[in-house]
Amino acid sequence: MAEENVTFTLPDLGEGLVEATVLEWQVSVGDVIERNAPLVEVETTKSAVVIPSPKAGRIVALHAEEDRVVPVGDPLVTFAVTIGDDAPQAGIVGKVPTEEARPARRVRLKPPTD
Amino acid sequence: MSANLVGDVTMRYADLRPQSPADAAPVLLLHGFGTNFGMNWQAAGWPQALGAEGLRVIGPDLRGHGASEKPTDDGSYLPERFVSDLLALLDELDIARVDVVGYSMGSRLAWELALTRPERVRRLVLGGFGPVNAFEDADLSAPGEGTTPFDHVYRTVSALPGNDPAALAACARGQAGRPFRADPPVRVPTLLVAGAKDAIAAGAGELAATVEGAHVEVPGRDHLNAVSSRVFKQAVIDFLTS
């Protein structure tokens, strides 16, 4: 089994919202998270939302510090996800070298306040 | 699942059952003014957090809100009309007693339910709520045209997709027709939770003392963003499962 890094960007939160403020990460770098488990709490001009994890994997990097405003489409989090050796890699024909599951970048975060 | 309860005003509600049910009362979640179950609770991660504790969640869209019917006469929005809707829902689902968690206007209505039908409420959580008059100085014949905190709230929520400004104006007038009073106090175990920077919940600590309840402040949070916080959810889970 191998790992590959997958970066998740701030999704479109609807209603013409173009950005959101990160309130509180529900995970830390190194944590293993299940798909749909709480990932990050963000606030828009209209509401406060908990974004569920789109992946199961290990958190490699958090790209926005708490209280930072993130535009829709900007990187939010990078996961290392496990892929089977025989699993097809989407959109790629033939065999490609598997990426090292090493964080490209680490972000220092404030410790949780609660 | 979601379903409609047909009464004088048809009400949409969600009934979310956990995978591993605990032997516990279902939790009735009552949203705030101008929002709905999905926006106030679901998007903020509540059904998931409560479901993980084995708690069943009942989440109505209150009359005038979300996918429920939206009458435009003030009398439809007296607190007792909401209470009738909630009792009809509990009867429909054959639920004798619930834990009720409200936010903002939903807390006002949760209080009303616990006050008038204490035998149906096991525990009460009032989120983002205090004994202050939410409509202070507002001209409710022309909501949104003034500069009071309520005018600001009204302008924000009337612009949300799916909301009917006329129904929300009627809702505000109906609520204002029965100003909140802490006397007589509710007689069920009560927890108040609010953001430390939530002006709408001013006096929550004193109200908690009045009802001999507990009070938890969420550091750094205001009326809009306290609802999704882990501190709030954990305080409620601890209170409901202790």
Interface contacts A/B by beta carbons within 8 Å? 50
Task: Return d(Cα B216, Cα B17) in angstroms, integer.
Answer: 27
Domains of chain A listed by start with CATH number: 2-83 (2.40.50.100)
CB A60 within 8 A of CB A15: no
pLDDT tens per residue across span B95-108:
999 999 999 999 99
Give the CA count within 13 Å in the CB-facing half-sphere of B164.
Answer: 15
Query: For B230, which of A15, A24, A43 is closest by C-beta distance?
Result: A24
| pLDDT tens sequence across B164-206 | 999 999 999 999 989 999 999 999 999 999 999 999 999 999 9
pLDDT, tens digit, 9 for 90 and up, residues B18-71: 999 989 999 999 999 999 999 999 999 999 999 999 999 999 999 999 999 999
Is B230 in contact with A48 (Cβ distance < 8 A)?
Answer: no
Which CATH number covers residue B189? 3.40.50.1820
Q: How many domains does chain B have?
A: 1
Is residue B150 classed exposed, middle or buried when 0-12, 13-18 and 19+ CB atoms within 10 A define those classes? Answer: buried
Chain B residues lying within 8 Å of A26, measured CB to CB: 230
Structural domain boundaries, residue B224: 2-241
Nearest to B161 among A15, A23, A36 (CB): A15
pLDDT digits (tens, 9 = 90+) for A83-100: 875 555 555 555 555 555
